[in-house]
Amino acid sequence: MPKSITITTVDYQHISSLLDNMPTLTEDMTQLEDEINRAEIVSPHEIKNNIVTMNSTVSFKFTDEDDVIEKILVYPHQVNSNQHISILAPIGMALLGLKIGQSIDWALPNGKRKTIQIIDVIYQPETSIP
């Protein structure tokens, strides 16, 4: 069984609600639903600062490429620039809950599989909670 991810209670609730309100689920969305249902779910105060959460700025790369990509993981309605990546995009789904240094093999829309590695969590909103 694949390693489980770690997500916050808030992210779990919002993503579950988002998926519940979709008219139909794609194969990717079903995979995301499976991922969050087996995730370790912690309060926002307990999440470690090296884990990708919603609204985190994260740098990552495909392990077969040298380029490092920096994106902000957001909900679909928040995407308003190419700096954002939706949680419903295949790469967005792959990033959620991973920690720095962790990799995951994920299917892309073109059918190819890529291994994505987390380089850094540049900003995580939970770390700014007093």
Q: What is the pLDDT of residues 53-87, one digit of tens each?
A: 999 999 999 999 999 999 999 999 999 999 999 99
Token code pair at residue 97 = 């809950």
Rounded average pLDDT over 26-34: 91
The pLDDT of 11-19, averaged and rounded, is 98
The terminus-to-terminus CA distance of the chain in angstroms comes to 36
CATH number, span 6-128:
3.10.50.30
Over residues 4-17, the mean pLDDT reads: 96
Total residue length of the chain? 130
Q: What is the pLDDT of residue 127?
A: 85
Rg of the chain in Å (alpha carbons): 14
- Regarding pTM above 0.85, the answer is yes
Q: Report pLDDT for 108.
A: 75
- Residue spans of the domains in the chain: they are 6-128
Edge-to-edge order in the sheet of strand 103-107: 84-86, 69-74, 57-62, 113-123, 103-107
pLDDT band at 3 (very low <50, low <70, confident <90, very high): low
Here the tokens at position 95 are 């990033």
